Amino acid sequence: MTEALVDYYRLYKKGLTAVNCQPGQGKNREVSRFSVLMIVSSNIFVKAIQMARRYKKTTVTKEELINYYVEQQMSMVMISKILDCSNGHVNWLFNKFNIRKRNKSEALKLAINLGRAERPSIEDHPNYKNGRILMSGGYIGILMKDHPEANLRHYVFEHRLVWERIHGPIPEGWVIHHLNGIKTDNRPENLSAMPRKSHHYALLLNALRKRIRVLEGELNRIRIQEKLI
């Protein structure tokens, strides 16, 4: 189909009216100038010409491709510019010669090491939410690379950071509890530190009772204020 359209175009440029629609099959067809104009003006013809230029034949060998890609550490885009062809054609050549291609991670690391690209920051990641995420277990994590309690992803539990900011370092072996049971409620008054021991639940119960008394006192003050108003 592409060869036939190219022949149409060439004959139209020469002002001819006869064209070989299917080269190699020995069949000639008379085509009017109007038909040639319709084909030339069609999007199909334009795309066919682009494809013909894009996938033109190259004489590169497997050894040359390996030299470009492995020895000289070129990217497939750079190779396509040297061969004066499309990226898709280079990809097709790699598949044809069964040459292993770098994955995205390997290509990015190589580009960074060679100075072709800058190392992407965490802030540029589409899933970045100002360094605050919901971690496993329902707790909120804060991005802090240099914190001693940071996990492999450099996140620290927010409730531990809040407690540390007010009371200082958390004693070794102690845990921070959410008194109302809501793991994302990291208000200082909702956090209580206690050791992880056999009477752990008894300590938690005492902390909950204390919190209940505080809340009852606040509620009574609100009721008194409403009566005065």
CATH 3.90.75 domain residues, the chain? 132-228
Q: What 3-state DSSP class applies to 130? A: coil
Looking at residue 208, what is its pLDDT?
Answer: 78
Who's near 55: CB < 8 A, 6+ residues apart?
85, 86, 88, 89, 92
On whether the pTM is more than 0.75, the answer is: no
Q: Does domain 132-228 have CATH number 1.10.3470?
A: no
Count, residues in the chain: 229
- pLDDT per residue over 157-208, tens digit each? 999 999 999 999 998 888 898 888 888 999 998 898 888 774 467 677 777 7
- Pairing verdict, β 27-30 and 140-143: unpaired
Looking at residue 42, what is its pLDDT?
Answer: 60
| Residues linked to residue 132 through DSSP beta bridges, in sequence order | 142
Looking at residue 192, what is its pLDDT?
Answer: 86
pLDDT tens string for the chain (229 positions)? 445 555 655 555 555 444 444 444 444 444 455 555 555 556 565 666 666 555 556 688 999 999 999 999 999 999 999 988 888 889 999 999 999 999 988 998 898 888 888 876 666 655 666 778 888 889 999 988 888 888 887 889 999 999 999 999 998 888 898 888 888 999 998 898 888 774 467 677 777 778 888 888 888 888 888 877 6
Looking at residue 70, what is its pLDDT?
Answer: 92
Ordered DSSP codes for 92-120: HHHHHTTPPPP-HHHHHHHHHHTTSSPPP
- Pairing verdict, β 132-134 and 191-195: unpaired
Looking at residue 79, what is its pLDDT?
Answer: 92
Q: How many CB atoms sit inside 10 A of residue 137's CB?
A: 8
